[in-house]
C-alpha cells in the first residue's frame, strides 16, 4: 500500500507539472534531407510562436545531406544522435535510434514528438516516443502505395508510424481517406497541405530577392552549370535517382535511357548523383563520358530548387520532387512503378515510367518534341497545397495542447476525488 501511495504522489506531481506549463515542449526528430526540408517550415512556425519550446533532434541517418539542408533554413540541431556509420543497414538505424532516444526522452519528457514522412528515423522515433507514452504527431501522414515492398522500407514505415501517431497531419484529402480506411479516428486527422510547398516557396522567395552577385554566391553550382542554365537554348533535363528498389538492374536501365537521350543534340542533362555507391557506380560507368550529361555532387536545397526552376522537365524517383515540381510548372517523369502520391498522376503533372529504358526515352521524347503535350503537363493543377501547411500544423498543435491539458486536468481531478472519497473498512 505504501508503494502505491508513493507512485500516486509521483503520478499526481507529474500531471501537475505537465498541465501547468505555459509552453508546449515539442521534440522534433529528423534524419534525412527530405525530413529536414519538409520540417524546416514547421520548426520556424513553432519557434516564432510564444506557446512552444522546440527541440530539434538529428539522428544522423544521412548526416551530411541533412545538415546541409537545415543550414539553408538557418536551423541548427539541438541534439545530434550521430548514429551514422559506414555500411549501416535498417537494423542498425532502427536499434541505434531507439537506444539513443531512450535516455533523452526519460530526461526531457516532451509534450509531443513530431516526425515526418516515412524514413526509418520516422518509424524509430515514433516507436521510441510510444514506448515512453509520449504523444506523436505525424507530418505528411497517410501516404500509401498499398504495396508492402514498394517503396521499401518506406511503405511499412509510414503504416506503422500512422498506427502509433496521436495526431495526423495529412497533406491531401486522399491521404486522409487512406487513414480513415485503416480505422484511424477522424477526429485525429487534419488536412494541412504539404510542407514541401512551404519550403519551396520560402527558398525561391529568398533567391528571387537577391541581387545577381549575391544570388551567385547563394546558388552553389559549378560556374559551367550556372552559365549553362542561364544561357543555353537547349532543353535542360534535370535528373535525380536514389530509390533502394531501383538498385541493380533498375539503375542500369535508367542510365541506358539517359545515355540514349543524350545522343540528341538539343538537350543538356544535369544529374546530381546520390552518394550511395549502388547509385554512383552505374551512373559513373555509363554516363560520365557523355559531353552533354553533367554529373554533379549532391546539391544543397537552394541550388537544387534553382535548377528545378531552370529545367524544362524532371526525371526522378523522388517523392518530394513529385510535390515540388508542379508548383514550378515542370512536368515530371517518375521512375517508379507505383507512387504514394496519386494526386499528381491524376492532376496530370506526373507520369509514371518505371525503370524501363524504352518508356523513359519515349515519354521524354514526347515532352521534348510535342509542345501541346508538354503544356498539358506543365500547366496542370498542383494538388499539394498553398504553402501554408506549417501555419496550420502550428495552430492544430495549440489546439491539441489545450485539449490534452484539459483531459489531464479532468483525469487529475478524478484521481484526487477518488483519494479523498471515504473508504469502507
Residues assigned a catalytic role: 118, 140, 154, 242, 244, 274
Strand partners, 238: 270, 314
The kind and range of the H/E element at 113 are: strand 112-116
What residue has cell string 515542449?
Answer: 25
In whole angstroms, give the CA distance from residue 25 to residue 234. Answer: 51
Burial of 415 (0-12, 13-18, 19+ CB in 10 A): middle
Q: Which three cell numbers stand for residue 6?
A: 508513493
Residue 140 class from Cβ within 10 Å (0-12 exposed, 13-18 middle, 19+ buried)?
Answer: buried
> Residue 105, CB half-sphere, CA atoms under 13 Å: how many?
23
- Cα–Cα dist 38/96, whole Å: 23
Binning the chain into helix, strand and coil, the percentages to the nearest 5 are: 55, 15, 30
CA 229 to chain centre: 27
Q: Any residues with CB less than 8 A from the CB of 279 and at least 6 apart, and which?
A: 241, 242, 247, 251, 273
Phi, psi of 58 (to 5 degrees): -95, 130
Amino acid at each position: 500500500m505504501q508503494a502505491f501511495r508513493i507512485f500516486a504522489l509521483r503520478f499526481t506531481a507529474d500531471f501537475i507539472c505537465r498541465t501547468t506549463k505555459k509552453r508546449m515542449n515539442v521534440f522534433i526528430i529528423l534524419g534525412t534531407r527530405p525530413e529536414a526540408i519538409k520540417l524546416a517550415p514547421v520548426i520556424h512556425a513553432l519557434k516564432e510562436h510564444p506557446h512552444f519550446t522546440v527541440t530539434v533532434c538529428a539522428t544522423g541517418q544521412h548526416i551530411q545531406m541533412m545538415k546541409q539542408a537545415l543550414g539553408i533554413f538557418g536551423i541548427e540541431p539541438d541534439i545530434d544522435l550521430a548514429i551514422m556509420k559506414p555500411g549501416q543497414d535498417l537494423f542498425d538505424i532502427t536499434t541505434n535510434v531507439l537506444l539513443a532516444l531512450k535516455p533523452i526522452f526519460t530526461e526531457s519528457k516532451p509534450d509531443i514528438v513530431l516526425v515526418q514522412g516515412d524514413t526509418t528515423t520516422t518509424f524509430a522515433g515514433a516507436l521510441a516516443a510510444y514506448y515512453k507514452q509520449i504523444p506523436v504527431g505525424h507530418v505528411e501522414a497517410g501516404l500509401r502505395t498499398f504495396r508492402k515492398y514498394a517503396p521499401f522500407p518506406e511503405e511499412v514505415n509510414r503504416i506503422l508510424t500512422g498506427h502509433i501517431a496521436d495526431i495526423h497531419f495529412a497533406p491531401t484529402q486522399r491521404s486522409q481517406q487512406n487513414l480513415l480506411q485503416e480505422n484511424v479516428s477522424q477526429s485525429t486527422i487534419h488536412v494541412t497541405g504539404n510542407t514541401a510547398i512551404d519550403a519551396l516557396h520560402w527558398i525561391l522567395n529568398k533567391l528571387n530577392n537577391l541581387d545577381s552577385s549575391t544570388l551567385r554566391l547563394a546558388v552553389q553550382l559549378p560556374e559551367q552549370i550556372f552559365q549553362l542554365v542561364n544561357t543555353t537554348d537547349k532543353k535542360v533535363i534535370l535528373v535525380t535517382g536514389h530509390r533502394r528498389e531501383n538498385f541493380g538492374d533498375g539503375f542500369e536501365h535508367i542510365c541506358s535511357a539517359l545515355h540514349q537521350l543524350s545522343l540528341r543534340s538539343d538537350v543538356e542533362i544535369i544529374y546530381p548523383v546520390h552518394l550511395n555507391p549502388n547509385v554512383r557506380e552505374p551512373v559513373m560507368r555509363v554516363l560520365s563520358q557523355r559531353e552533354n550529361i553533367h554529373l554533379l555532387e549532391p546539391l544543397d536545397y537552394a541550388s537544387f530548387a534553382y535548377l528545378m526552376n531552370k529545367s524544362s522537365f524532371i526525371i526522378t524517383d523522388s517523392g518530394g520532387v513529385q510535390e515540388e515540381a508542379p508548383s514550378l510548372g515542370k512536368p515530371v517523369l517518375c521512375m517508379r512503378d507505383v507512387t504514394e502520391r496519386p494526386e499528381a498522376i491524376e492532376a496530370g503533372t506526373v507520369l509514371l515510367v518505371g525503370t524501363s529504358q524504352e518508356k523513359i526515352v519515349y515519354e521524354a521524347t514526347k515532352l521534348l518534341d510535342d509542345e501541346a503535350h508538354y503544356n498539358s503537363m506543365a500547366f496542370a493543377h498542383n494538388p499539394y497545397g498553398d504553402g501554408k501547411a506549417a501555419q496550420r500544423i502550428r495552430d492544430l498543435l495549440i489546439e491539441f495542447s489545450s485539449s490534452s491539458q484539459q483531459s489531464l486536468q479532468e483525469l487529475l481531478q478524478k484521481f484526487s476525488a477518488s483519494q479523498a472519497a471515504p473508504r469502507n473498512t
